[in-house]
Chains A and B, each alone.
Chain A
Amino acid sequence: MFGTGLIVFREALEAALFIGIIAASTRGVINRTPWLCFGVVVGILGSILMASVMGQISAWADGIGQDIVTACILSIALCMLAWHCIWVSPNSHQMVQDAKQIGSATSNGTQTLWALAIAVALSVLREGAETVLFVSGLVLGSTESLGTLTLSVAFGLAMGVLAGWLIYKGLGQIKPQRLFAVTNILILMLAGSLASQLAKTANQADWIPHLGDQAWDISALLPNDSAIGMVLHGVLGFDASPTQLQVLFYLATIMLIWIVASQMKLMISRSRMALV
Chain B
Amino acid sequence: MRTHSSKSMAIALCISFASYLFISPAQAADYEVTMVIKNHLFEPSVLNVPANKRIKLTVQNLDNTPEEFESHSMKREKVIPGGAKAVIFLGPLKPGRYEFMGEFNPTTAKGVVVAEGA
Task: Let me know if B29 and A259 touch, CB within 8 A.
Answer: no
Question: For chain A, what secondary structure do more than half of its interface residues adopt (helix, strand, loop), or is it mixed?
Answer: helix
Task: Let me know if B89 and A55 touch, CB within 8 A.
Answer: no
Task: Let me know if A245 and B84 touch, CB within 8 A.
Answer: no
Task: Let me know if A54 and B89 touch, CB within 8 A.
Answer: no
Near B by CB (< 8 A), chain A positions 128-173 give 130, 133-134, 136-138, 140-141
How distant is the Cα of A67 from the Cα of B87 in the complex, in angstroms? Answer: 10
Task: Let me know if B13 and A255 touch, CB within 8 A.
Answer: yes
* Stretch of A31-39, A98-106, A201-209 at the chain-chain interface: A201-209
- Does chain A have a CB within 8 A of B33? no
A249's closest neighbor in chain B, by CB?
B17
Near B by CB (< 8 A), chain A positions 48-78 give 54-55, 58-59, 62-64, 66-67
How distant is the Cα of A141 from the Cα of B39 in the complex, in angstroms? Answer: 10
- Does chain B have a CB within 8 A of A263? yes
Interface residue tally for chain B (C-beta within 8 Å):
45
CB distance from A195 to the nearest CB of B (A): 10
- Does chain B have a CB within 8 A of A268? no
Residues of A within 8 A of B (CB): 3, 7, 54-55, 58-59, 62-64, 66-67, 130, 133-134, 136-138, 140-141, 200, 202-211, 219, 223-225, 240-241, 243, 245-246, 248, 252, 255-256, 259-260, 262-263, 266
13 contacts between A and B (CB under 8 A): A3-B106, A59-B84, A63-B58, A64-B87, A133-B79, A133-B81, A203-B75, A204-B76, A206-B29, A208-B24, A209-B27, A246-B75, A248-B20
